[in-house]
Amino acid sequence: MRLQKFLARAGAASRRGSEDLMTAGRVSVNGVVVGELGTKVDPNVDEVRVDGVVVRLADGPTYLMLNKPAGYVTTMKDPQGRPTVVDLFPPDAPAGLFPVGRLDQDTEGLLLLTTDGELAHVLMHPRHHVPKRYLATVGGVPDESDMRWLRDGVRLDDGMSAPAEARIVKRSGTAAVVELIIREGRKRQVRRMLSAIDHPVNKLERLAFGAIELGDLPRGASRPLTSDEVAALKDAAGV
């Protein structure tokens, strides 16, 4: 395995950051400083150190976040041949990586990816009510009574929506940006809630899943979750 890939997988830094660590002379293999980017290591045999500290591959589950662009379907395989989120998995993605829940084809933003089937299952279970924060650009500007409907519950074809948090973060003459935090995960729920108050969604982005924030991760990019983020997810799931 290439040394920069080993370092990235072990969580020492991103792939680019790992290359920087190497060229800065901070990485050694079996006691010898290695700055050559093509260097290969055997994770089972070689001892890799960063700043003198041994780095090992964690052999536990993988947890990543992806900033999903519009146009990709959240499925492992699409019979219609559309681009899928799998096309955006990092090249060193482990076998068994899959998305936690789904975002619609046209929805952008935070999608968690993991090999941890048990945690994914628990997180998606409606009982856990993990809050998910969205920014929706809608047609027209909702008034206070529309916002109250969103907060209290609107009638959808599969029943009333549960209480949600809703606020307008921006308004222009003919459009508005609404922040909505929902604790359910019904199909196309945000779009349906906003259509129900006659303010259809033109653009939808998920910014947070529980305590996990998308931050400034570029569209189309992915990164491993930090151990604090994984701990927060496990906490939200009660596992």
Active site residue 104: yes
Handedness of CA 146, 148, 150, 152 (dihedral sign): negative
Closer to ligand URA at the Cβ: 55 or 204? 204
Q: Minimum distance from CB of 49 to ligand URA (Å)?
A: 43
Closer to ligand URA at the Cβ: 3 or 103? 103
Alpha carbon separation from 158 to 161, 186, 188 (Å, rounded): 9, 9, 11
Q: Minimum distance from CB of 221 to ligand URA (Å)?
A: 19
Phi-psi region of 153 (alpha: psi -120 to 50; beta: other; left: phi over 0): left
Closer to ligand URA at the Cβ: 104 or 179? 104
Closer to ligand URA at the Cβ: 54 or 76? 76
Task: Tell me the DSSP string of 205-232.
Answer: EEEEETTEE-TTPPTT-EEEPPHHHHHH
Closer to ligand URA at the Cβ: 66 or 204? 204
Q: Minimum distance from CB of 77 to ligand URA (Å)?
A: 19
- Among residues 39, 91, 31, 36, the alpha carbon closest in space to that of 64 is found at 91
Among residues 46, 78, 104, 106, the one annotated as catalytic is: 104
- Give the contacts of 158 (CB within 8 A, at least 6 positions apart): 186
Q: Which residues lie near ligand URA (CB under 6 A)?
A: 103-104, 107, 188-191, 204
Q: Minimum distance from CB of 73 to ligand URA (Å)?
A: 11
- Per the DSSP assignment, residues forming a β-bridge with 20 are none
34-46 burial string, b = 16+ CB within 10 Å, else e? beeeebebeeeee
- Among residues 78, 92, 61, 66, the alpha carbon closest in space to that of 237 is found at 61
Q: What SS3 class is residue 236?
A: helix
Q: Minimum distance from CB of 132 to ligand URA (Å)?
A: 7
Catalytic residues, which ones?
104
